[in-house]
Structures are given as structure tokens and as C-alpha cells.
Amino acid sequence: MPVTKSRTSRNQRLKRGERGGIELLLIQSVDYLGKQGEVVEVKRGYAMNYLLPQGLATVATEHHKRMVEKHKAKLLAIQHERLAGLRQLAERIAAQSVTIEANANDEGHLYGSVGALEIVRALKQQEVTITPDQVRLKGPLKELGLYTVDVHLGQEIEGQLKVWVVPTVGETEPAAESKAEGQAEGKSASTGEGKSAGKKGESASK
């Protein structure tokens, strides 16, 4: 219950803009949104799930505006540090590849498709965290093969990730093995019956 109250009070403190969104002050420049020190209006989900937790923005109050102006040089240094981190991440992404298994027919066409969410999950397994909207696909991947996917990290920094889409393994093989084992058992049983019948025939002739 205390957590609910905390969230409620926090939501109430967020100032609404003219269009009904949340009014925030940008601590750092954000692509396609605004520059450092600007007041922007965004959807509540974007504010609560990305801008505020990432430290890219804060509640737009006169106090915060004065603080941003006062510490502009320090914030600019933080921005440069963030950009350096994004460049390192771009290099790390470009230096590796991910493999995604998918069901496909004999011609290599997928029964479904591979999208940004699957790519994000595959990268997370390699301890690289990005969001689905940072994966720039021209469309879902619908065939087996190797793809080069652009990943937009922010501030005009992009990385290119190699994505292997391969057929799902382990689904048909057990069935084939079971069939082979069944055929082997049948052959063994048939051979055994033949030998037994031969012995009986020899005994009768004697």
C-alpha cells in the first residue's frame, strides 16, 4: 500500500501540458524531442518509463529550470560522457552477432516472422540492453538468412548488428530417431523369429 501512495503522489506532481500530456524539462538533449533545457510535452508512458528513469528529464518547475541553467556546463559534461558510452555500445554491437531460431519450410520461408522484440531478447542474453524502438527494421524478417540490422542508440549514433535467422532444431530429430529405433527393433525381432523357427524345423526333422 505505501508504494501505491508514493506512485500516486508522484503522478499528481507531474504537470500536465496544454495537450493533456506530461510537461517535462529536458536535462539532456533527446533525439526528435528537444534540446537540453527545453520544456517538452510527452505522453505519460514515455515520461514514466523512459525519460524520468533514464535521467533525461525532470519535472518542469521554475526551480528545476534555474538549476539546469546554473549547472549547464556540468550537464554538458554528463552529455558528452553519455555520448561516449553510446559510441562504445555501438562498437560492441557491431563486433558481435545474434542467432534467432524460427520455424521455416523447406524453402526457407518462416511460418511467422522475426521482429524487433526477438532481436532485443537475443541481445539481452549477451548482456546488451536496448529497447525495441531502437531497432530499425524496414519490415519483419520472414526468411532464413543473415541480416544486417541498424540499431539507433540516440544522438545520431547507430550500430549495425548481424542477425542470423536459422531453422529451429530439435523438433523433428527426436521423431526421426524414434522411427529409426522402431525400425531397428522390428528388424531385430524379425531376425529372432526366423532363427527360432529354424531351430524348430531342425528339431522336427530330427
Tens digit of each residue's pLDDT (9 = 90 or more) over 49-90 = 889 988 888 888 877 777 777 777 777 787 788 888 889 999
The CATH code of domain 95-167 reads: 3.10.430.100
**How confident is residue 17, by pLDDT bands cut at 50, 70 and 90?**
low
Contact 156, 31 (CB under 8 A): yes
CATH architecture, domain 2-82: 3-Layer(aba) Sandwich (3.40)
190 or 49: whose pLDDT is higher?
Answer: 49
Region for 69 from its dihedrals, namely left if φ exceeds 0, alpha if ψ lies in -120 to 50, beta otherwise = alpha
Is residue 167's pLDDT more than 70?
A: yes
Find all residues with CB under 8 Å of 6, minimum gap 6, and list them. Answer: none
Closest CA to 40 of 20, 26, 54: 26
> What percentage of residues in the chain have a pLDDT greater than 90?
35
Domain residue limits, the chain: 2-82, 95-167
pTM of the model: 0.51
